Structure 1
Amino acid sequence: MKNGISFSTIILWMIVIFVSTFILWPDIVKGIVCFCVVLGAVLFFLFSCKNISCLEVKIYAFFMIYYIYIILNGIIFYDTIEKFVYGIYQYIFYSCVMFAALYVLPRVNLKKVLYYITIIGVLTSIVALYEFCTGKYIFVAFNDLVNMNHGNGSFVDGETVYRAVSLSVSPLSLGVDCGIYGITNYYLWFLKHEKKYIIFFFINIMGLYASYSRGPWVAFIIAFSFYTILNKLGDRITFRKILKILRSFVLILLIIATCIYFFRDNYYIGLFINRIFSIIIWNDSTTTISPNMLRFYYWLNAISIFTKNYINFLFGIGIGSTGGSAFAITVTESGILKRLVEGGIILFIIHYYIIYLIMKAGIKYKGVNRPKVIYALSVMMLILTDDVTEQITESVDISMIFWFICAVILFFIRKYKK
């Protein structure tokens, strides 16, 4: 038993530290982590897949269908071995994290993980702020900052900006990471009412700002609202509770608007305002091609591929065909469109039906640890929202977080179900 606990702890902390400091690790470490994740998933099916609920049986059955379809899709649309392996890696390995987590969660202490997240979140955010303000990147990454010209800053919204990367893979991943750290500290503040978590929360918000990413901002606001609403409403929905929530949101918006107004001449506030307005401004005269228009072009291109013929519509063009890899034929700029293009409507339905089952069970859960489940659901919501307009789940660290959170929801539902 002692060895089992020790092994589970190693797997857990290997995953947690790996995804939160992804930029630091060489390929050999990444390979070891991959092996441990697969091993954890195998151990789950061998030793832990017992006394499970009907819901879990349903979810695991759909996962088996999901895996079989992905493998068949890769074989039928086989082009190169690299593309096939990449597709298997993205769809099967990423989701194996959920099963590995389900194996280790009953054997470890999650409180220590939460405390680690608060610490690494503050560190990541501080480093991000330093990079954004100084233009000096502490950890060499983001394709060594040279391929994307980030060593000399990025020309965004008419300004030369040093988008922070910190311990993440890219500014986009950093934005999602800081959003997750912010939700975590907000949850801990709700739980413990200790001022330090509010301080950490605002530090994480500054880290999110330093990423200079719009999608994570929108996703964070939606996830933050989702968490607040579910927490405040509780088990019973009343008109008074709804009014109280609306009053709180209006007050927060007024405070933010007031601060922006009085500090509107500040350089960094100005950058923030420009970035927020760029979400709705599609015809940007300060650049040759508006980032919004370029993204819209990718969306239209992905839709045209998906609807080209009935084969593409049903089965896609093959896993691993889109994204940032050298053998990808296009970029979809959307995780939803990525699945439609690569695996057709069949892959789309299976993938999101599994997610629907997990989220539905989490929302309906009314047990003693509902706050923990709501926290996990909010992190899911943040990633899913950002994945609508970005291929953020193509990033290994974000996908591993997503499937780990799915495991957390299933674990608490199973352990504390009424």
Structure 2
Amino acid sequence: MAYAVKDLLRLEVVPALGCTEPVAIALAASAASSLLPEPWQRLELWLDPNVYKNGLAVSIPGTDGLSGLDLAAALGASCGLPERKLEVLAEVDGDCVAAAREAAASGRVEVTLLPDVRGLHVRARAISANHEAEAFIEGLHDNIVALSLDGKEVESPLIVPGCTPGGSSRIDDLENWLKTLSLRELVALLDQLDDEDLDFLQQGVDMNIALAEQGLKFGMGLGVGKTLERLVRQQLIKKDMILAARMLTSSASDARMAGAPLPAMSSGGSGNHGLTAILTIWAVKDYLDVTPRQVLEAVALSHVITAYVKAHTGRLSAVCGCSVAAGAGATAGVTHLLGGDVRHIAGAIKNLMEDLAGIICDGAKAGCSLKLATAAGTAVQAALFSLQGVNVHFTDGIIGQSPEDTMRNVGTLSTEGMIATDRTILNIMLEKKFTDV
């Protein structure tokens, strides 16, 4: 089946309030508890290693910086809006946080790690005095594939049409289609963009800019973006398009990782991917003589390439997707915006992969802002280098003859070569004591 760019944007680019791993946990718990005819008393969750890893330490929106897998579940079950999908926690308030903290602290939420499960897997069971309900999310953060009450399957609009546990989804079909395309064909998808698509892309820009403005104004989280801005004011560093991309992108991540109650427009299943894919290009545009349509076309290309790389690496892995997936998307978009052709885009992607392929994902947390700053700056540099004739040769390391080969090689590194690394990262994190509630 062939897809259009509109299909890709609707499936891969969606609003998300908060880090998508604790949000997926909250969504599953919310969906399960919504089936109960009486208040829930206990929650049980089963998580794959990557959701577990990414949800451990990142702040949850509306909680004033609190974090925790059990807290995310309790928040979802107590006041989540499952019909809002990745914005399930949009109406979290102080009373809800207090109730969720009490539930987590009293041991009413049990979280189990499934160490041998591959792929995104979130199963939640909500138990009341006389009933129990389950929700199962698989493959994608908002992909509810099954609901049940007292052991009987429940039909619900919350279940993604056509999805069953262990079966294929539209996103699987989309990714299989993407893998058949060449870089030239991926770039050609831009010809399909219509006014509706451009309006949607602008909405994503506006969402992510709002997060960046929040981070720059208040110095939230680690304060990477705010610190870069301060260094510029003190004339300790100079602002150019590379630094502008680093500043804008990291400030948005600062706000998001600190739990700012603002949605991000995600890309490839990740809000931080969306920040990298969009804001890198938005920062660069201020240094160029380009039209609004050209900027949004570059953003669209960034989403397309991000999705292509994610099709090879998987949704979650030990490799930092903001670096190799959204970074590849961003450098492709920047190169396109700078007037480069497919040959230049190919060179930029190779340059970026050679530079950033070794960056690990050690969970979602405030420090992600540092990695987004690196990804954004390197994306701009890789584009500039390619346009100046600097291109990594295919004899170097994992770089392939073509950009497609290179992106496939990164996928192989991620899905086959980093399995032990992923387990080691999680083990190191589990040795630390997280006390958030």
Q: TM-score, normalised by structure 1?
A: 0.27
Question: Which structure dedicates a bigger proportion of its chain to helix?
Answer: 1
Name the structure, 1 or 2, with higher relative contact order (CA <8 Å, separation 6+): 1
Question: Which structure dedicates a bigger proportion of its chain to strand?
Answer: 2
Q: TM-score, normalised by structure 2?
A: 0.26
